[in-house]
Structure 1
Amino acid sequence: MSANQTDPMIGRLIDDRYQVRSRIARGGMATVYLATDLRLERRVAIKIMHGHLADDASFKERFIQEARSAARLAHPNVVNVFDQGQDDDSAYLVMEYLPGITLRELLQDHKVLTSEQAMDILEAVLAGLAAAHRAGIVHRDLKPENVLLADDGRIKIGDFGLARAATANTATGAALLGTIAYLSPELVTRGVADTRSDIYALGIMLYEMLTGEQPYKGEQPMQIAYQHANDTVPSPSSADPSVPAELDELVLWATARDPEQRPRDARAMLDQLIDVQRVLADPTGAPLGRTMVLPPASATMVLPRGATGETQALPKARHRTGPVGPAAVDTAAELGHAARRRRRRGFVWIVVVLLLAVAGGGAGWWFGAGPGSQVAVPDVTGQDPAAAASVLEAAEFVVAPDNAADFSVEVPTGQVIGTDPGSSSRLQKGSTVTLVVSQGPQPLDLPTVVGQTEDAARASLSSFAVQDSTTQFDAADPGTVLAVSGVDATGAAVDLADTAQYGEQQPVTLTVSLGPVPDVVGQTVEEAQAALQAVELTGVEAGTEFSSDVDEGSVIRADPQQDGPVRPGASLDLVVSKGPPPVTVPDVTGKTIDEATAQLQALGLRVSYDRCTAFTCAFYDWEARLPVLATDPPAQSTAARGSTVRLSYRVE
């Protein structure tokens, strides 16, 4: 029997809105299901907290708080959060459904990815994580299982905040082993984490994508945790020599045991990754500088063939011989001359050593603390230009008088995007650095989507961040786009009907028709209220009126209680008919019965009178000649339409 058949959640209706269809995945803290949002008629992924965690009030509270934090993120590389609520004793989270696979499944199928594939995936993950870090959110559980690869090519990060909410009792066995493979040393040893802990996990993931295996292995989670805390992650090329040196350096930078030696956040690592991609894409360009270990000084000496480098006994000096025999060389004059030569050579060497010491010390001062020293360019992203300039000047850089400008989706207008050279660069003190200031999102042509279906409009607006649509009742067909709105520079909502251009990835909200308000005219109050409730409207009985067209007790009309469009949840006033309005009885005295009857019936009144006897009317055409003496009700009084007026007459 399959897991879906035994899972009691399958087929369940959550919060009268989400119909659970099938199970997608199960983790240590929650299970993810595929569900249908019956209200908006779309597929969603719904994550439901395990029942055994329901008694942990702090867990539930942090689960809800982190869900709200994740919902604030609006980024193409982050899974959107639509809703959050409570079902019985378990909290649930509603997210967008992305048909596809996880990075873990991709690695299981292909084991090793190419450098280009690994960099493409890492770039998307870093872009989404940079948005989270900028919003003050630390993921704390980055791993291939939480990277989603959609069928349409999109790459998104999921499960924001669940690791933060987890306790020591929420994951054991295989679940703990899968997570601990990506834990940073500071999380293992001190239980603390910040943005640099996420960077460490990404470094481990990049290593795994490039080599097909994790750097640390062990049968027990504690063995892996010990290696994270005490060992240095090896370079990927040690397992696969085809890995470029630039990616080796990126992995080693991201997985440094000391958090201070890692990238500050995802934005800093993303900037470096882009530089690496640029270098690898241009094989003719200058390679990155590499640190070289010079051989020891003794290795530069040339020894005689057969020499071993050990201490050797040199042969004794030979005497010069001539035709008359050996000549002595140990005379007093020659010995004194040799001594003077040795003293001169010693003095020269002392001078040389002193000069070298002075030169070495000067060079050390120049490059270590003097004008020739190199320092890293500070990261001033997100600061205003004046504050950024102060930071750079404090680091002994010269700030260019004119700022550069560029478009940015993430950095607000007027704030610093970065510097040129970038913050990862090392420059000599006194070098000129240019601030790059954000012009805000790049203006793009805004397509006209009013009148299209919602799906077609979303496809046309793919360059913008399309939010959840608002709905209202309208004469247009259901699903038709009625209006498009966005935000201005202050964040206030604005109508985009007459806007030709709008910022890239800025929020866009569609107003979509639900069709007309149900026609309840002629229905009873109970029938009208039921028809309105079926479309999330409320009918309130609000008075009566006379009506010649609607029967008494039936609804004449449904009026909205507020001006403007009618949206789900609105209340409508139901006006009920009192029947036809009353009429004034005309004065028909003196007219014949025939004339009076015609006049009264024309007003919707009935007529009655006593028939005359055969004796009384024997010699008269009574309907034409008998005059009316009075009416009941009397003339000028009111009577309901359809009521009867009685005529009195006399026989002449």
Structure 2
Amino acid sequence: MPVVVGLPESEARGALDAQELDPVVTRDYSETVAAGTVVSAEVDPGTRLRHGTDVGLVVSQGPERYAVPRLDGSTLEQASAALDEAHLRLGEQSSRHDESVPAGQVISSSPAAGEQLKPGAAVAVVLSDGPAPVDVPDVSGKAQDQASALLQAAGLTVQVAPERVFDPEVPDGAVVSQSPGPSSVARGTVVTVVVSKGPELVTVPDLVGKQYRQAETMLAELGLTVRREDIAGGFFGTVREQSVEPGTEVPTGTEVVVRVV
């Protein structure tokens, strides 16, 4: 039996052929022996063998290494299964916001895809938390077009409530309220704005000749306030004059002065 350990496979085969011995090759990984080199032989050198005897040789495949699979876009469960199949394992997991990778999917791995690792080596992954939250601006009191532009610029979706509302303080066409209000929300969140019709206008009735109590009730029902001024003590309680002409349209909350005799 010739010395074959440490020889390249081709040379080992040649040495055995010269002795009319038949090599039976199996291959195994080795961290120390170069690929294609004989690691061991099942028969010691110098052993006398019959011609035609099978001689088992173990030839190195080099170090056992496995490529990191591509994991980006996978869920954590899918990434773990892919690593198991590649004889690797899932390592440390971290997360960060990403504008394009959906929440829960892998953004990247370390080492990266294609790198060769020892069996059982850990591969760390970074998972997406989805897009970073955005701040909802306060658009109350702003004109509808301006409010919409501000919300869209912040990465939000604008929805205008179908019904406008009266508001004594917010002018016509401006935003009365919004939902959600100023806060941090996911990009693309729908923000509903309610637009003002301005103050509600009511028609001032004719109060002259009516008793003060009746006039006061009529104005209160319209959302107007009343201030009484007595003439000569206002003994009879009858309205003689009013500060706002009958038929005039005024906002609710307007004060009407009545002079009572």
- Bigger relative contact order, structure 1 or 2 (CA pairs below 8 A, ≥6 apart): 2
**TM-score if structure 1 supplies the norm length?**
0.22
Higher strand share: 2
TM-score scaled by length of structure 2: 0.49
